[in-house]
Amino acid sequence: MKPASSNDGRRGPAQIWNSAPQMAQIPTRHVNSLVPSGARVVIVAPHPGDEVLACGGLLQLLSDLEHPLQLISITDGSASHPGSQLWPAARLSVVRPQESAEALRRLGMPLHLLKWIRGGFCDNGLAAREPQLSQFIARYLQPGDVVFSTWRNDGNDDHDAVGRASAVACNVVGAHLYELPIWAWHWPAREGAVFPWQRARKVPLDAWNVARKLHAAHAFASQLAGDPQIGLAPMLAQVLLERMREPYEIVLV
């Protein structure tokens, strides 16, 4: 869970998620039309918390349908507060995975049945290790898996690298990939034209799914707190939480 590489203007009111007319035109797909019955689902999250921001509602639906689930956390998220003495990297490397575990519990995930892989890759440096990242992801995939990863053009270097690496891994193994925008929703409205609207599908969520997703997001105390001493704003800004109230998850097919 990290801010996009270029944040200028991305947190103002005119962002894709709340201003682009294409949002209302996205077709609906139910989860059982995306994931075949009995298929194993693998979520690839660049940082702890990305699995909730990207698909916290979808995870609930998949769990309710009793799909085998595997979560791959690529990094431990320890670089989210650069220069902070309040949240140094050593503290974050312990705290952020704990926050993810609590968030998954709040989503109602059966943690004893969830296979959770922690990659240990360097936070904020995945693009430099993309070949190794592809090999690592492929090691934990099987033919026929359905994989959800961050979109390869999301606007955050780590998110983009994970999207590209997941695509390579899926091609090698024979798994099916769906991509999930996170920071792309907070592009300025003028950038909406470059978003692949033709690939977007809405997966409907009910009020309970949305409430649990928001409750899970609030488990990330480190991301809800910046560091005023160095002028560092919270990673989970209010606009991100507002977007999570939408009654759907959006997947790029």
Helix (H, G, I), strand (E, B) or coil at 129: helix
CA distances from 58 to 44, 62, 100, 184 (A): 13, 6, 16, 18
What is the model's pLDDT at position 13?
Answer: 58
Q: What is the pLDDT of residue 1?
A: 54
Counting beta carbons within 10 angstroms of the beta carbon of residue 250, is it exposed (0 to 12), middle (13 to 18) or buried (19 or more)? buried
pTM of the full structure: 0.92
- pLDDT one-digit tens code per residue, 103-157: 999 999 988 889 999 999 999 899 999 999 999 999 999 999 999 999 999 999 9
- Domains of the chain with bracketed CATH: 16-252 (3.40.50.10320)
3-class DSSP state of 157: helix
Q: Which of the residues in the chain have pLDDT under 70?
A: 1-13
CA angle 4, 185, 105 (to 5 degrees): 85
Residue 60 backbone phi and psi in degrees, to 5? -65, -45
| C-alpha triplet 184, 246, 209: angle, nearest 5° | 115
Whether 69 and 114 have beta carbons less than 8 Å apart is answered as yes
Element (DSSP H or E) covering residue 149: strand 146-150
